[in-house]
Amino acid sequence: MPDLSQHTKNILGLQLPTDPRWVDLAGISLEAILTDHAYCEQKAATTCISLIQRYSDREKLVQELAPIVSEEWGHFRLVLNELKKRKLQLGKQRKDEYVNKLLTFQLKGGHPEDRLLDQLLTMALIEARSCERFKRLSEGLPDSYLRNFYRRFMESEAGHYTLFIELAETYINPDKVRKRWKEWLDYEKEVMKEMEIRGDRIH
């Protein structure tokens, strides 16, 4: 796949692209960026487990997210192996300011359907931004091996993004999903404007 298809670009829908300087900073903070990436994959797996536990009565959600748990944990192990191969250390997990800001936008209380929708859209947005970031790394890192390494992650995250949107539309009116998704995209744009450009984190 030479590039993201136009369809996938449209699906991602992100309103603000990553500042190109981020890739240069990431390239000189390799141990930190790989550490953060590892924890991102770990948290993705555990979040999917939590969704399965919380919505065990939603058969399609359980069936679709179960393999994602395995895939994300496999990604965690791949990044760990990359650290080991390069004689780098898995550092401490950091506070994820980006994700924490997204969580504040989730509806609290109210109808259970609205809470489910926001939980799924939060995951979709994290996967979309991760896909965009991995695309930047696959194009801009000086290490050709790492460019290919992140290309594979980019392709995976694009598939995950669409899955969370599809799950939302399975249980909730698609028009409602799209309307709320637009609100999420607008909010995320403002979050990205406020975030410091740092090369030691994926988001």
The predicted model scores a pTM of: 0.91
Contact 200, 28 (CB under 8 A): no
For the chain of 203 residues, list the mean pLDDT of each consecutive stretch of 10.
45 83 93 96 97 97 97 96 96 93 92 95 94 93 94 86 92 94 96 92 93
Looking at residue 25, its amino acid is: L
Query: DSSP states of 77-119 as a string?
Result: HHHHHHHHHTT----PPPP-HHHHHHHTTS--SS-HHHHHHHH
Domains and CATH numbers, the chain: 24-194 (1.20.1260.10)
If 0-12 CB within 10 Å is exposed, 13-18 middle and 19+ buried, where does residue 56 land? exposed
3-state SS class at 28: coil
| CA proximity to 45, closest of 129, 127, 151 | 127
pLDDT for 12 equals 64
CA–CA separation, 186 and 84 (whole Å)? 39
